[in-house]
Amino acid sequence: METQILPINDNSIKFAAELLKKGEIAAIPTETVYGLAGNGLSAESVKKIFAAKNRPADNPLILHISDTDWLYRYTKSVPHPALKLAERFWPGPLTMIMPKNGLVPDETSGGLNTVAFRMPDNKYTLKLIELCGFPLAAPSANLSGLPSPTEARHVYNDLNGKIPLILDGGSCSFGLESTVIAFTEKGVKILRPGGVTPEMLSEYCYVEIDKAVTEGIGEERKALSPGMKYKHYSPKAEVYMIECVDNDQFVEFINKNYDKNTFVLTNIREEIRAKTIPYGSTSERDAAELFSVLRKADELGAEKIYVKAPAKKGIGLAVYNRLIRAAAFKVIKL
């Protein structure tokens, strides 16, 4: 199959809507990462998404909606603080898990009796959902296991020949996937950190952070969010996250432990003898650039990547969560 890339605009979303109505799938831009979209109410469309990504069937998809009222169409009930959170954070990087009703196929929810919802913050993508008239199921548009795509060409590199269309909306402004929350008796639990931070949610309700956000999930612990148990965001190179007290310690470690195929993701350039890729400034920029620098390291032939551990505060928590997975939990504490 030939994969077409079209800039997203009023014409291309009409074309995309026709494809999606026929049961086809297409990659779409959002403010977080590119998604691989299909009709979330159609088991057949959803199966195409899983096949193209090579995604395990028990890893559920997010339904992307353009109108908060749609929550009532596809759930048994809308949990208490959900509407308040939707009003404050939608459209935006917040995904909320709710009990699903019979209109949502088990293929979409990975066999669970809950389903996740998000309203993406991209005006054309929202219009596209309206044109379709059904929610778009969309996981990140990468091959399962690789870093999520933040540019149309990342999607093309992973899925060329496997999907008919990529709508190009430029670089994703936030760059990491949405915050995923489940509702608890007391408030909410963060299953995956993202652009809507624990600090931001705390202004509206009680917030817990699932242990799996910063730690691995042992065999004994069942993942609340199935996606958390899989190897994730990994470039081909082996990533090591370095926890250290200051830059001097970091530089000293690198200069003792590098070889010709080692790349360091850092903005400390002069003192480091290994090859570097510029990275590491504000948490916003780190979030926006992380997946793209991981892909770049692969393109440059990196075998080993060293990167300093980010602080686990605010958006830094999301960056930490993706990095520790990219590193397959290999953390070196100095």
Q: Interface with ligand TXA by CB under 6 A: which residues?
A: 30, 32-33, 35, 59-62, 93, 95, 97, 109, 112, 114-116, 118, 120, 138-140, 177-178, 180, 191-192, 225-228
**Judged by CB under 5 A, which stretch of 46-54, 132-140, 160-168, 255-263 contacts Mg ion?**
132-140
- Report in angstroms the alpha-carbon separations of 214 from 196, 233, 238, 320, 331: 17, 15, 19, 7, 12
Nearer to ligand TXA, 148 or 276 (CB): 148
Dihedral angle over CA of 284, 286, 289, 295, nearest 10: -150
Shortest Å distance, C-beta 295 to ligand TXA: 16
**Residue 225 touching Mg ion (CB under 5 A):** no
**Residue 144 touching Mg ion (CB under 5 A):** no
The one-character DSSP state at 100 is B
**Residue 32 touching Mg ion (CB under 5 A):** no
Nearer to Mg ion, 12 or 109 (CB): 109
Q: Which residues contact 56 (CB under 8 A, 6 or more apart)?
A: 50, 144, 226, 230
109 binds, among ligand TXA, Mg ion, none (CB under 5 to 8 A by kind): ligand TXA
226 binds, among Mg ion, ligand TXA, none (CB under 5 to 8 A by kind): ligand TXA
Nearer to ligand TXA, 55 or 308 (CB): 55
Q: What distance in Å separates the CA atoms of residue 135 and residue 61, rounded to the nearest whole number?
A: 11
66 binds, among ligand TXA, Mg ion, none (CB under 5 to 8 A by kind): none
Residues 156-195 that bind Mg ion (CB under 5 A): none
59 binds, among Mg ion, ligand TXA, none (CB under 5 to 8 A by kind): ligand TXA
Question: Taking the mean position of all CA atoms in its chain, how far away is CA 88?
Answer: 21
For β-strands 275-277 and 262-265, DSSP reports them as parallel
| Closest residue by Cα to residue 306 from 253, 249, 245 | 253
Nearest residue relative to Mg ion (C-beta): 140
- Contact by Cβ (8 Å): 241, 283: no
Q: Which one of 32, 42, 125, 140 is in contact with Mg ion (CB under 5 A)?
A: 140
Nearer to ligand TXA, 12 or 95 (CB): 95
Nearer to ligand TXA, 138 or 167 (CB): 138
Partners of 332 in the beta sheet?
A: 242
At residue 130, φ and ψ (nearest 5 deg) are: -60, -45
Q: What distance in Å separates the CA atoms of residue 220 and residue 171, rounded to the nearest whole number?
A: 39
Nearer to ligand TXA, 141 or 302 (CB): 141
Nearest residue relative to ligand TXA (C-beta): 227
Shortest Å distance, C-beta 250 to Mg ion: 29
Nearer to ligand TXA, 25 or 61 (CB): 61
Q: What distance in Å separates the CA atoms of residue 116 and residue 75, rounded to the nearest whole number?
A: 10
Token pair 């992380």 is found at 290
Shortest Å distance, C-beta 185 to ligand TXA: 17
Question: Taking the mean position of all CA atoms in its chain, how far away is CA 183?
Answer: 20
Q: What distance in Å separates the CA atoms of residue 71 and residue 100, rounded to the nearest whole number?
A: 9
At residue 105, φ and ψ (nearest 5 deg) are: -65, 150
**Judged by CB under 5 A, which stretch of 39-47, 137-145, 165-173, 186-194 contacts Mg ion?**
137-145
Q: What distance in Å separates the CA atoms of residue 134 and residue 148, rounded to the nearest whole number?
A: 24
Nearer to ligand TXA, 93 or 264 (CB): 93
Which residues contact Mg ion (rule: CB under 5 A)? 140
